Every structure is written in structure tokens, then in C-alpha cells.
A = this chain, B = another copy of it.
Amino acid sequence: MGFSSRLEGYTGRVREVLESAGVDVGDEIEITIGEHEKIKGVLMSRYELADPEYIVVKLPNGYNIGVRFRENIQVRKLLEEVKKPAFRPPEKARPIPGLPRVTIVGTGGTIASRIDYRTGAVRPVLTAEDLLSIIPELASIANLDASILFSIFSEDMTPNEWSMMATRVDEYIRRGVDGVVIAHGTDTMGYSAAALSFALQKPPIPIVFVGAQRSSDRPSSDSATNLIAAVKVAGYAPFAEVCVAMHDNHSDEVIAIHRGTRVRKNHTSSRDAFKSINTEPIAFYKNGEIYVNRKDLNNRGSNQYIFNPKFSDKAVLLKFFPGMSHEILEDIWMKGYRGIIIEGSGLGHVARRLIPTLEKILKDGVFIGMTSQCMYGRVNMRVYSTGRDLLKIGVTPLDDMLPETAYVKLSWVLAQTTEIEEIKNLMLTPLAGEIGERSIP
């Protein structure tokens, strides 16, 4: 994760003190300030952008602190042997008869990784044995199998990774597992969950995305509770939906299970960042139990499964803003994109000055769908004349679909057909609970 394993980030007086103490990044050290203050912890790499006058130390509670350099500072290396964290060697898990078979697919992100205290580096931990050594409870919930599909930051996911994930999950479905858990970075987990909702429609088993907002070396980590809930849902839920399992609130007690097409990361850092938008979660997990929250779900064992993992990269998501120029639309059109999801204002509007450009693009056979940057509620383009004029030129109103989900769906639809009427028709047909629910008032 960009950390150096040497002192190279440190410079000047700070570097001198560390070198003369004979310590290196990853060592347990004790810093003495003046006569009384002592700080113990692991010396961390200095970020390139941190103040050069600070020494970064990871405390035993998992938090990093920066100790400012002062003349009266002393650094001492502690004995490694004494301080090495106890880490029992993982045992090979034996299948327990009667438990469901759940497969965990690692794709990257905070949940599928563990920070190495000694270097600050993050390493993947997704063998079943690793997981069981960290979260022993999992062994009593399911017979686990785990593998790493890839290990990338979720901001680097593209439609190509969505296809790879869907294809891998389909393999496990055909092997007869009882549920699949996908460990995923949280940044774009909502997009990926929507993608698999369209690629794996009405699957016979639950497909549960899970992430963590805090890494597992922090006391406030949500890794374990989220993962336990995800495995439970994958193995036992009566519904077979593509969904996301994340903290419902600030406590560790309740995990919300969100529909893959209805969920959004709505906070940069809090543990309950994921929210169902315009609907309720499909279920909750609490104290080992799954509480199903609605009736219109695809049942486990469904025989209507449709697998179609193709995605196009010819779709664009574009947010309207007051000074938006028609040039931005023209450029997208010129680049050969075949569909545009607009995050319009209010009930589904853009500036009237953009209408002639939109009309030209639509006449060229490009799909343009309208969602709202309000996020909550649904577009209604019959109320004001701007909306009516946009309808008249052929903009498709996408009801209460999330803009992000609309973009993912369009990426999927464009890989199924090049026929504009069929594209419109598919975009307006609910395929995975993505459209047409009653909005929360």
C-alpha cells in the first residue's frame, strides 16, 4: 500500500535519531520524551506527505500516532522476541457434516486484507484457514472455501472485473455451493453488487457482497461482524438475491442486508455507510438470526436462473451542473459512447440550452436515460415543460433507479443488444428489483 520497508521516508534530524538508535521500520520501539513521557509501538513508514518532523508509531491499540521531534527525544529498540504478536498457525479446516457449503471470493479491499504490523504493508488473507484463524466462529456456521479472484482497490474495478466476478460466481453455482460471499472494497461495492444483480439474475443461491470500513487491525473494525453475517446469509437465507451485508448502525449488533441494485455507499468512513435508497433493506442479521424484511424476493433454489456476464464499456454516467456546457455532451458522443445516464436536477431536468445537443445525440441512436442527483425519490418528467420537452426528444425517464445502478444496468444492456428500442425496453423493465418501488416518502 505504498509503504516503504526502510527508513527512506524519514529525513534530517529525525532520520539521524532513528539511525543512531539502530531501528528500522517495523521494529518495536520506545520513544522517551524528556524524563517522564514514554511511547511504545511499532515504527511505521513516514507517508510522503506527512510532516518531516514527526515519527509515526503504531500503538498497541492499532492506531497510528505522530510523535513530533524535539531535542529531548530518545529512541530505543525493544527486543523483537518479546513483542512479537502471538499468531497461531492456521489449521486445515475439516468439513462438518450438515453445515452449508459457502465459498468466499476475494477481490480486494479492506476486508480481504490484514495490515502487517511490522511493515505497515497490507497483505491478502483469504485462504479459508486464514479467515478461520481470525474469526473462529465461522467454522461453526459453514464449511468454508475461499479463494482470491484478484486483489485490487475497488476504485480500479471496471466492467471487465464485473464480468470476471460474475463468471467466477457462476462456476461456484454450477459446483453446487449453498452460497457465495464476495469480499470487496467498499468504494465501488454498490456498483459491483448492481453489476452481478444483472449478470446473475434470479440465482439459485444467495450472493453476498461484504466489505469493511475499518481494517481488521483496528479495535473498531467491522470486518468480523460483517463477514459472519455475510456467511450466515450465504449459507442459510431463504432468499437468493445478490445483496450487500454491512453494519446497519453504529452498534455491532445489526447487519443490514441490502438489495444489490438499491444500495449506495453514503458516508466516506462510518461503519454504517451503506444505505438502501428508496427502499428498505431486504433483511437484517442480528444475534445469529436472519430477519427477512420483505416478501418479493427470489427464493433459494430458484430455477429461473439467467447467467449473462457481458458488460459494455460504452456507457457513461454524467452529472448535470448549472454551468454545464453542451460541449461535454458532444465530446462523449464523438467518442462513440452508445449510452448516457444523466444525473439530472430535481424531477429529471437539465438546462434547456442542452436540449438541441441531446436531440442530435438521440437521433444518432444513442440511448439517454434520466435519473436524479437528489438521490431519493423518483424522476417525473411530466410535471414541468423542461421534462416534457426532454421526453419528447426521446430521453428515457428511469423512475426511482439509482444513477449508479442505471449506469451499471446500461453497461449490461448495451452488451445484450444494439437495437435502440430494445435498449429502452430493457432499461425500463425491472430485472433485479432496480426500478419501480414505492419511494420512502
Contacts and interface: CB of A to CB of B under 8 A. Distances in A.
Contact of A49 (B158, B315, B391): B391
A242 B378 CA distance: 29
A352 B191 contact: no
Main secondary structure of the interface of A (DSSP, over half): loop
Contact of A351 (B155, B327, B411): B155
A379 B320 CA distance: 22
B269 A380 contact: yes
A267 B376 contact: yes
A3 to B, nearest CB: 8
Contact of A317 (B153, B321, B384, B391): B321
Nearest to A312: B323
Given A377-B269, A385-B1, A345 B313 contact: no
Interface residues of A, number: 77
A265 interface: yes
A328 interface: yes
17 contacts: A48-B392, A153-B349, A156-B353, A159-B323, A191-B322, A266-B375, A267-B375, A267-B376, A268-B377, A269-B378, A270-B376, A270-B441, A273-B377, A319-B343, A323-B407, A328-B332, A328-B335
Contact of A322 (B188, B385, B389): B188
Contact of A270 (B343, B377, B380): B377
Given A323-B407, A328-B335, 14 more contacts: A156-B352, A162-B322, A188-B345, A191-B321, A265-B345, A265-B373, A267-B376, A273-B374, A318-B319, A321-B407, A327-B335, A328-B332, A331-B331, A331-B335
A317 B315 contact: no
A130 interface: no
A155 B345 contact: yes
A372 interface: yes
Nearest to A265: B374
A350 interface: yes
A384 B49 CA distance: 13
B347 A158 contact: no
Interface string A363-391: 00000000011111111101011101101
A345 to B, nearest CB: 4
A178 interface: no
